[in-house]
Structures are given as C-alpha cells and as structure tokens.
Amino acid sequence: MSEIKLEKFSNKPIIEPIIEGVKTYTPIIYSDSKGTSLRENIFHPLQENIVWKCFKGSKSRDSVKWLEKNIKSLVLKYNRIWLYIWIGTCDITTLDRSTFLINLTSEDTSEIVEQITTNFQLIVQIISAYPQCKVTFLEIPIYSIRKWNYSHGHMNPIEFLE
C-alpha cells in the first residue's frame, strides 16, 4: 500500500461493523514484533476476542516449531481456532541488536522465499490434522529499510539495500 493510499485510508471515518450471531472461531494472531506494534495500537472492542502470540525476531521456522509444540493445548483451550500467521519479515531482514538497524539477510532472496514457502506448507499440514481449525497467512508488509534505519538514527540510510 502506498503512503498516499495509507493516508487516505487513515483519514476515513471508522464504520462500526454490525456483529450478529455467535462467535464460532477464536482468532489467534502469530506474529513477530510487528504484531506487538499492532496489538498496542488497536483500541476497539473486537480486539478483546483476539489472542495475540507475538515474538520479536520470529522467523517462519520458529512458527512451525511453536505450532507443533502448542497446537494441542490451543485446541483444548479454545476448541475452534482461526490462526492468522503474520511472519516472514525476520526471514528476509536481519536486525543488528546493538544499533537496531536492519539490512537484507541476503541479496538473493529466492532461497529465503523458498524457505518461507516450505514453512508455510508445513503449517498448513499441521493445521490440517485439526478439522476444527483454520489458518490464514497475512501478507508480509512492504516497508522501507532506509526509512526504518533513518528513523532509528542512521545518518546515511541510502547505503542500505531495498
């Protein structure tokens, strides 16, 4: 989404949805740190129904391990879940924890995309063993490495690859 579209969207009035019926699934969002940012900036009554599982630096392989370890207990606790997977950013980028600057993990992203795709397929396989559960993969947002690094104090962010 371009900045202009984002600005137009943010200026539109919020239309309260009409909620009818009974909740059939518990939404669970599994994300890296961008999920934490979203959770902390949403103030809506519908948010109370969302279970947030956000882990800084979580990569796609971490989500497979987490799901393998936790799916049974999630199903026991919530019965019918709809898992929203919102990861991949940390597979593609690397954070320098001493400076909080990011860069591409590799200039050849095709191997990384293949790893993410394989891990997403494993997630679908895990969820398919639980017919009362569904999974949706949320799009990895496009963001500017240069803007991120500039906002975190780098004086010459143009040197970073996009």
CATH topology of domain 22-159: Rossmann fold (3.40.50)
Query: What is the pLDDT at residue 34?
Result: 82
* Residue 18 neighbours by CB under 8 Å, 6+ apart: none
Helix (H) or strand (E) segment spanning residue 3: helix 3-11
Q: Could you tell me if 36 and 93 are in contact, meaning their C-beta atoms sit under 8 angstroms apart?
A: no
- In DSSP terms, 148 is beta-bridged to none
Query: What is the pLDDT at residue 148?
Result: 75
- In DSSP terms, 135 is beta-bridged to 83
162 residues of the chain, pLDDT tens digit each = 567 776 777 777 766 666 677 778 999 999 988 888 888 887 776 677 889 999 988 999 999 999 999 999 999 999 999 999 999 888 888 888 888 788 888 888 899 999 999 999 999 999 999 999 999 999 877 767 777 777 777 777 666 555
* Residue 84 neighbours by CB under 8 Å, 6+ apart: 27, 28, 29, 30, 135, 136, 137, 138
- In DSSP terms, 95 is beta-bridged to 102
Query: What is the pLDDT at residue 157?
Result: 60
